[in-house]
């Protein structure tokens, strides 16, 4: 299972960076990404239609203030490293890549929320900042503040830029200063949606859940959750997971990131080890493989060994403490030292069949 091939010459920095760049450029279409793209496309179309309807209604009454039809909110939740942000970036890049899109239009705006967000004012300022509007500064620091007035301003900018969906990434940061902020933040998000400004995609970890559940009205505006959680030990999920890992490895060889395959999905045991290593989260597989690649290239090797993967896993795990089985802080079980969990092995065997079938 272990492959070792040590190059006689150490690699220069240019070659190392070139190979890392090639690895970073690998893009794998996975079912969740497809689901997210479909969800955002659908949300954009529906939002545009409703905004147009609201505008027509407003024009019909001579631009007098009316009760606007509300827009929607789509949660995208998953653990850290599950590929939410990467998937969102890829969806947004695809939208921006449309050659027919005028240069001053921003159909989807991505706002990465900071953990210093303590009030709706901070959220509004960060949205304005993402639009590169200079008034973000005065919203944050000015004397006269009115939430409705700032929403008016954001609406005007959004209409000018033809923005229909705003993605609030790292939304769990809204509760970084305490769960007590949840009702206030939920109301702020609700007013953005209720005022018919744009639809919102909330992307973050499960820690953002109180934000979605504390306000009944906000719940009523929610669309179906796009789940980026770990792949579970059932047949479909495991198929997706193993296919993803296999595809990643094949792409690495094809793009000449490594000279020979690692064998991550050669047999049931390998698949189970990779699954336990990443706890079913595909983003973690990519990260650990990249760390291993860096280690190998620095050591003058042009391919990755299981030993590199194991070392990279331990280095990564040291830097990112996770909760243990008892719910307290602790390290996960190391599959490279103790072998894969028997439950994982059983589930893999059930869903993938024998080793010969896997290899085939």
Partner 1 sequence: MLLDPHVITVSLEKVKPFIVTEKPAPGESLLGFISRNLSQTATRRLGPGLALAGIGTLRPESLPRTLEDPRQVASLAKLFNTTADEIEARLYRTTALAGSNTVAISFNQVRIRAGFREGRIRRVSPIALRSSAVHRSLWELRPFTFDPETLEHLLDTCPVCSRKLNWIRASEPQMCNHCLDEDLRPIIDLRDFPQSLVEADDVEALTLAPRLLSHVPSVRSDARASISAPWCDLSESELFETIMSISFSLSHDHAHRMGVEWRRKSTELGSLSPMTLCRVSRSILDGGKAFDALLEELRSGRATRKGHYGQFVEFGQMGGVRKNPHMSSAAKAMVYDAISRVLASRPMERRFRGPQQRSEDSVDFVEASLIAGISRQCIKKMASAQLLEVKRGGHRGLTRCVKPTDVLAIAAELNATIPDFEVERQLGIDRLHFSFLESAGLLIRPRVKLRPLLPAGTNYTAASIEALLARLRYPLENDGKAVPINEAVLTLCMDPLPWSAILTVIATKPGYGMKLAEASSDWRTDIFVPDIARFKLEVAEVIDDLPPTTRVVTAVGAAEILGTTVNFVGRAVKRGALGKLPGRPARFDQQSIISFRAQYIYGSELARHFGVSNTNTVHRRLTVRGILPAFSCVGRDLIYAREGLPGVLN
Between residues 65 and 97, which has the closer beta carbon with respect to partner 1? Answer: 65
> Residue 19: CB partners within 8 Å, gap ≥ 6?
256, 257, 258, 293, 297, 302
- Minimum CB–partner distance for residue 164 and partner 1 (Å): 16
- Minimum CB–partner distance for residue 272 and partner 1 (Å): 53
Contact window for partner 1 (CB under 8 A) among 16-24, 73-81, 147-155, 326-334? 147-155
Quote the distance between the C-alpha of residue 39 and its chain's center: 14
Between residues 134 and 180, which has the closer beta carbon with respect to partner 1? Answer: 134
Is residue 134 a contact residue for partner 1 (CB under 8 A)?
A: yes
What does the alpha-carbon distance between residue 282 and residue 83 come to, in Å, rounded to a whole number? Answer: 7
Among 43, 109, 157, 248, binds partner 1 (CB under 8 A): 157
- Beta carbons of 249 and 99 less than 8 angstroms apart: no
Is residue 139 a contact residue for partner 1 (CB under 8 A)?
A: yes
Q: For residue 279, which of 214, 211, 230 has the smallest C-alpha distance?
A: 230
Among 153, 251, 279, 307, binds partner 1 (CB under 8 A): 153
Between residues 6 and 101, which has the closer beta carbon with respect to partner 1? Answer: 101
Between residues 87 and 194, which has the closer beta carbon with respect to partner 1? Answer: 194
- Minimum CB–partner distance for residue 191 and partner 1 (Å): 11
Between residues 154 and 248, which has the closer beta carbon with respect to partner 1? Answer: 154
Is residue 64 a contact residue for partner 1 (CB under 8 A)?
A: no
- Beta carbons of 39 and 224 less than 8 angstroms apart: yes
Is residue 150 a contact residue for partner 1 (CB under 8 A)?
A: yes
**DSSP E strand boundaries for the chain:** 73-77, 108-112, 165-169, 199-204, 226-227, 322-323, 329-330
Between residues 136 and 230, which has the closer beta carbon with respect to partner 1? Answer: 136
Helix (H, G, I), strand (E, B) or coil at 221: coil
Between residues 100 and 146, which has the closer beta carbon with respect to partner 1? Answer: 146
> Could you tell me if residue 87 is left (phi over 0), alpha (psi between -120 and 50 degrees) or otherwise beta?
alpha
Tokens of 287: 């990260």
Q: For residue 88, which of 248, 231, 201, 212 has the smallest C-alpha distance?
A: 201
Is residue 135 a contact residue for partner 1 (CB under 8 A)?
A: yes
Give the number of residues in contact with partner 1, rule: CB under 8 A: 25
What does the alpha-carbon distance between residue 116 and residue 133 come to, in Å, rounded to a whole number? Answer: 20
Is residue 198 a contact residue for partner 1 (CB under 8 A)?
A: no
The footprint of partner 1 (CB under 8 A) covers 124, 128, 131-135, 137-139, 141-144, 146-150, 152-153, 156-157, 160-161
């Amino acid at each position: 299972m272990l492959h070792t091939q040590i190059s006689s010459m150490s690699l220069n920095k240019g070659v190392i960076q070139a190979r890392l760049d090639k690895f970073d450029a690998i893009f794998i279409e996975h079912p969740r990404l497809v689901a997210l793209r479909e969800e955002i496309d659908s949300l954009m179309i529906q939002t545009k239609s409703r905004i147009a309807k609201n505008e027509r209604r407003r024009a019909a009454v001579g631009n007098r203030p009316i009760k606007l039809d509300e827009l929607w909110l789509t949660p995208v939740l998953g653990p850290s490293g599950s590929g939410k942000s990467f998937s969102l970036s890829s969806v947004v890049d695809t939208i921006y890549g449309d050659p027919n899109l005028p240069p001053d239009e921003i159909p989807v705006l991505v706002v990465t929320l900071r953990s210093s967000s303590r009030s709706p004012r901070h959220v509004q300022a960060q949205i304005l900042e993402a639009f590169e509007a200079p008034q973000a500064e005065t919203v944050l620091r000015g004397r006269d503040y009115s939430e409705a007035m700032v929403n008016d301003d954001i609406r005007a900018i959004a209409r000018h830029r033809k923005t229909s969906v705003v993605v609030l990434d790292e939304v769990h940061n809204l509760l970084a200063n305490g769960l007590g902020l949840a009702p206030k933040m939920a109301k702020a998000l609700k007013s953005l949606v209720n005022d018919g400004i744009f639809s919102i995609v909330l992307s973050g970890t499960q820690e953002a859940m109180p934000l979605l559940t504390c306000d009944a009205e906000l719940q009523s505006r929610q669309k179906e959750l796009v789940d980026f959680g770990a792949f579970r030990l059932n047949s479909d999920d495991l198929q997706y997971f193993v296919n993803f890992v296999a595809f990643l490895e094949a792409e690495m060889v094809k793009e000449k990131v490594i000279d020979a395959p690692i064998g991550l999905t050669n047999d049931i045991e390998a698949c189970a080890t990779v699954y336990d290593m990443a706890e079913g989260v595909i983003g973690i597989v990519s990260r650990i493989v990249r760390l291993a690649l860096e280690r190998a290239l620095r050591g003058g090797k042009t391919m990755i060994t299981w030993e590199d993967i194991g070392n990279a896993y331990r280095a990564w795990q040291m830097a990112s403490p996770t909760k243990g089985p008892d719910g307290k802080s602790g390290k996960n079980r190391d599959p490279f030292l103790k072998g894969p969990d028997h439950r994982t092995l059983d589930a893999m065997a059930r869903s993938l069949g024998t080793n010969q079938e896997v290899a085939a």
